[in-house]
Amino acid sequence: MTITEKILAAHAGKEEVVPGELVNARVDLVLANDITAPIAIREFERIGANKVFDPDRIAFIPDHFAPQKDIKAAEQCKLLRAFSHKNRLSLYFEVGRMGVEHALLPEQGLVLPGELVIGADSHTCTYGALGAFATGVGSTDVAAAMATGQCWFKVPESMKFIYYGKLGQWVGGKDLILYTIGDIGVDGALYRAMEFEGETIRTLPMHGRLTMCNMAIEAGGKCGIIVPDEITEAYVKTRAKRPYRFYNSDDDATYVDIREYDCSKIEPLVACPHLPSNVRPAKELADITIDQVVIGSCTNGRLEDLREAARVIKGRKVNPNVRMIVIPATQWIYREAMREGLLEIFIEAEAVVSTPTCGPCLGGHMGILAKGERAIATTNRNFVGRMGHPESEVYLSNPAVAAASAVFGRIALPEEVGL
């Protein structure tokens, strides 16, 4: 079996499972945010459930429209808080303690190798970087799981992506996953497990792995997953809040498709409007002017991402025709970036720094685009109207390209600032 099939089998209490099989499986963690949890809460109450299956296994994180942007958002967040207090949820994260959910939970040691995690947010697939089976589900499935501790799944087929070769300068996990999506398309892994492996992955730091698994959904994937190794162990051993288990894929496991990529040939990439698969080399887009730069999100808002952007923009200024918004993904990242002087670098460059929020990524707040405006962002989606007006445009890149673009007011490479 593949790692995905082994984890599903273990949680379904079965010796083995096969692709296409329907299983009921025990969940280790249930997640929802300020947009999706209110729906789940109403369904939970509608079915007559009077208590949650485990108050330590349900995480509510208000991060999309929080800090509350208007009255409706405030009411949504209030509903989360009231339900969490009523049910004594230990994993309710109020503003000031919260962060972007998919950065916060790994950081806090609350998602671990070998676990089965569901979340009412499509980017729950991020946690596959830790060797977990993690996937987004609907709010009604979250409601049922909150009551029963179980969820149903169709066991997905698996695709294997093998990456080899040394990464070039300024090339990281964001470029690898953009390259992959550009190759297979936004439905190329529809309801499949995307298993990433190879010598390049084995040396890829955890923040790069999290970025890759985060965007598996952008190829239609049911999950992204990486077999855990020494890098995984180093990341989780000091964080883990409970025991965990490493699973691997058998040598004779079956994959519906296997693809190999020579990473030494991959350069900094940009996904152009209006699909994450519309990928082109950044160097070919120097004629694209921009109005806004966003560094952050569950894709690239981690400390290493901020370091990369700060290295590019240090001692320089944001172009006078551009606004640059930097959003550390969690309070811990914010504090560490402050200690390292990264926030000072951004502010000296005349960027703004926000408290943790999903904000502009989904066109929520803290960076909405007007008609005709263009943004380059380290986020994960660039659909029509994703960040604001339906006649705006979003380009997706890694943090270094985004920071260089802020300096020049157009899509640019870090080399252009002399690095």
Quick one: 44 exposed, middle or buried, by C-beta within 10 A (0-12, 13-18, 19+)? buried
Rounded Cα distance, 125 and 133, in Å: 8
Q: Structural domain of residue 327, as residue ranges? A: 269-417
Locus of tokens 């025709």 = 321
For residues 177 and 249, state if they share a domain. Answer: yes
Q: In which residue are the tokens 């369904």 written?
A: 43
Burial of 225 (0-12, 13-18, 19+ CB in 10 A): buried
Residues 202 and 233 in one domain: yes
Q: Residue 116 is inside which H or E element, if any?
A: strand 116-119
The DSSP secondary structure of 308-362, one letter per residue, reads HHHHHHTT----TT-EEEE--SBHHHHHHHHHTTHHHHHHHTT-EE--S--GGGG
What whole-number distance in Å separates Cα of residue 285 and Cα of residue 397?
Answer: 12
Q: Which residues pair with 257 in a beta bridge?
A: 159
Cα four-point dihedral sign 119, 122, 123, 125: positive
- Both tokens of residue 415? 């080399």
pLDDT at 419: 84
Same domain (yes/no): 202, 237:
yes
Q: How far apart are CA 393 and CA 168, in angstroms?
A: 28
pLDDT in tens, 97-144: 999 999 999 999 999 999 999 999 999 999 999 999 999 999 999 999
- Rounded Cα gap, residues 204 and 21, in angstroms: 33
Q: Looking at the structure, do residues 348 and 242 belong to the same domain, yes or no?
A: no
pLDDT at residue 216 in the model:
98
Q: Are residues 278 and 393 in the same domain?
A: yes
Closest CA to 161 of 177, 182, 185: 177
How crowded is residue 183: how many other Cβ atoms within 10 Å of its Cβ?
Answer: 14
CATH number at residue 346: 3.30.499.10
Coil, strand or helix: which one is 271? strand
The owner of tokens 């207090």 is: 85
Nearest in space to 126 (alpha carbons), one of 142, 107, 141, 106: 106
Cβ–Cβ < 8 Å for 418, 404 = no
Does one domain contain both 238 and 362?
Answer: no
Q: What is the pTM of this model?
A: 0.96
Same domain for 300 and 185, yes or no, is no
**Are 154 and 8 found together in one domain?**
yes
Do 243 and 321 have their domain in common? no
Provide the number of structural domains found in the chain: 2
Q: Which two tokens stand for residue 285?
A: 């887009």
Comparing C-alpha atoms, which of 414, 377, 410, 393 is closest to residue 174?
377
> What does the alpha-carbon distance between residue 35 and residue 381 come to, in Å, rounded to a whole number?
18
Kindly list the distances between the CA atom of residue 28 and the CA atoms of 109, 149, 170, in Å, as whole numbers in the listed order.
13, 8, 36
* Contacting residues for 150 by C-beta, under 8 A, at least 6 apart: 24, 25, 26, 27, 144
Report how far residue 347's alpha carbon sits from residue 352's, in angstroms, rounded to the nearest whole number: 6
Q: Average pLDDT of each block of 10 consecutive residues along the chain (419 residues)?
A: 98 98 98 97 95 97 95 96 97 95 97 98 97 97 97 98 97 98 96 98 98 98 98 97 96 97 97 97 98 98 98 97 98 98 98 96 95 98 95 98 98 94
**The domain boundary residue, chosen from 261, 280, 315:** 261
Q: Write the CB contacts of 110 (distance below 8 Å, at least 6 apart in sequence).
A: 29, 59, 91, 241
Residues 276 and 254 in one domain: no
Q: Six-digit token pair at 326?
A: 């930097």
Residue 64 confidence (pLDDT): 96
223 with 90, same domain?
A: yes
Q: What is the pLDDT, as a whole number, of residue 390?
A: 96
- In one-letter notation, the amino acid at residue 261 is Y
pLDDT value at position 186? 95
Cα 23 to chain centroid distance, Å, stands at 26
From the centroid of its chain, how far is CA 269?
A: 18
